[in-house]
Copies of this chain bind each other. A is one copy, B any other.
Amino acid sequence: MNFSDTLERMIRKFERRAPLDDSDRAALRSLPFTRRTASARSFIVREGSSPDVSCLLLSGYTFRQKLTGDGGRQIVSFHLPGDFMDLEGSLLSCADHNIQALTRVDYAAVPVRHILDLIDNHPRLARAMWIDTLVDASIYREWVLNVGRRNARERIGHLLCEFALRLDLAGLGTTHGYQCPMNQEQIADCTGLTPIHVNRTLKAMEAEGLIRRHLRFIEIPDWKHLREASGFDDTYLHLRQVGEPVVNHHVSRTRGSQTGANNNSVSAQTSASARSGERPGPA
């Protein structure tokens, strides 16, 4: 995989987060790094360690996972080419999770001290990176919701939707279809299910016409249908993040009762919905 193409893609990604200038871009382009390869399943960062490099993914896929004491594995996020995996490794003193290669991967390992220099000397860049980690946090929140409050079909459908959009953005697929980066066991570890149940649910979704499958290729005949069946709403990916925050007037949610202004203010609440905690009843 071409390093500078991927670097440029990453720069464009950061520019969607915050405005950069020429010196910021130049600093990114001149980052020292060593090129590394890892085979599928090998560990790139281990829980408990303090890595001395942060890694820009060049080709292939990686994921982050945590284990329970009795061996249950939960995948908590995944990364595609152009992602800076493990930026937090430069700022936190101890890794709280493992990063593992999903496929054979190429990546550029950048010494932590150069990342720290970058942060110190390029505030705009630091802000773009910070925002990037905030978007990651938003994705974690959605995953908590996904495994916590959705059934198997919705969980898997939601994951397939996220794959579609993120692969599309990286030029590796479309919302009509893509080569799924994960096998069924890994999908199970993303969704908190067993591989057997993932298999059955995928088959059921195919029977319903939500998806079609050709080996590992996922085809989505009706994007809107899959989205709605999965409760998928892409807001949490913050795809249209545009640098500076803007004034408050795009409330484009389909769901929910956006009653206009926030009720940040003092005032005791009396409306029924407020008293019930605004949890809408079952549909």
Please give the residue numbers on chain A whose beta carbons come within 8 Å of chain B beta carbons, in ascending order: 36-39, 41-53, 64, 66-74, 76-77, 88-94, 96-97, 100, 109, 112, 119-120, 123, 126-127, 130-131, 133-138, 140-145, 147-150, 154, 191-192, 228, 231, 235-236, 238, 240-242, 245-248, 250-253, 255-256, 258, 262-269, 274-275, 277-283
Cβ-defined contact, A274 with B42, below 8 A: yes
| Assembly stoichiometry (copies) | 2
Cβ-defined contact, A150 with B68, below 8 A: yes
Give 20 A-B pairs besides A36-B264, A137-B140 with Cβ atoms closer than 8 angstroms.
Answer: A36-B266, A39-B269, A42-B267, A43-B262, A43-B264, A49-B258, A52-B247, A66-B142, A71-B279, A76-B141, A77-B141, A94-B238, A96-B138, A96-B141, A109-B264, A133-B137, A137-B137, A140-B140, A147-B147, A147-B192
7 nearest A-B residue pairs (beta carbon):
A148-B192, A140-B140, A72-B149, A147-B148, A137-B137, A50-B248, A74-B145
Cβ contacts under 8 Å, A100 to chain B:
277
Q: Which of B45, B191, B274 is in CB contact (< 8 Å) with A262?
A: B45
CA distance A252 to B49 in the complex (A): 9
Residue of B nearest to A121 (CB): B123
